[in-house]
Structure 1
Amino acid sequence: MPKPEDRRPYRRQSEPGETKTVINTSPDGRRWRLDLRQVGWHGQSGAFYALGESPHLYETGSYSPLWLIAHADEIDEDGNPL
């Protein structure tokens, strides 16, 4: 099948959806809690796909989820917001 159109935006940041939370420590030692939301897919060919599309129909290689940071806050050692 031919590749689908490269359409944006895939899902708005404000739209509800499942999120995952990761903790990141910056080089200066500050800790950040990042809430990530999947908004689409990124194929090995470099194409982007909307969340509801099926990249396996178009990609001969692999593809992975495309995440964005929906919310970020700096936290202390106990995980409390600063």
Structure 2
Amino acid sequence: MTASRTVTATADEMTVERTAPDGRRMRYVMRQVGWWGQSGAFYGLADPPYGREPGSFSPAWVIGHADELDDEGNPL
């Protein structure tokens, strides 16, 4: 699996390419929509958990776009 990450002005995006066991290649563009706190609370991008979440927190991602790829890495 290869992954690259870029930051845009409005949200965090991550591009991930994966190969399935059957050989199919997929590219997913993931978009960060907020944060999940250790307490289970969800925080939006405009409302980060810094200073309010008692434990750790991690980004919450959604799939913004998915493409199946050919052998050369181009979308089908």
Q: Post-superposition shift, 1:48?
A: 0.6
Distance 1:43 1:52 in 2: 15
Q: Which has the higher contact order (CA 8 A, sep 6+)?
A: 1
Q: CA shift at 1:71, angstroms? A: 0.4
Runs of 4+ in 1 over 3 A off after TM superposition: none
Q: Percent identity?
A: 58
| Number of positions where the alignment pairs a residue of Structure 1 with one of Structure 2 | 67
Q: Unaligned stretches of 5+ in structure 2?
A: 1-9
CA apart distance, 1:18? 4.4
**Residue 58 of structure 1 pairs with residue 30 of structure 2:** no
Higher strand content, 1 or 2: 2
Residue pair 2:11, 2:33 contacting (<8 A) in 1 also: no
Q: TM-score, normalised to structure 2's length? A: 0.75
**Correspondence for 1:47 among 41, 48, 52:** 41
**1:23 and 1:54 mapped to 2: Cα distance?**
28
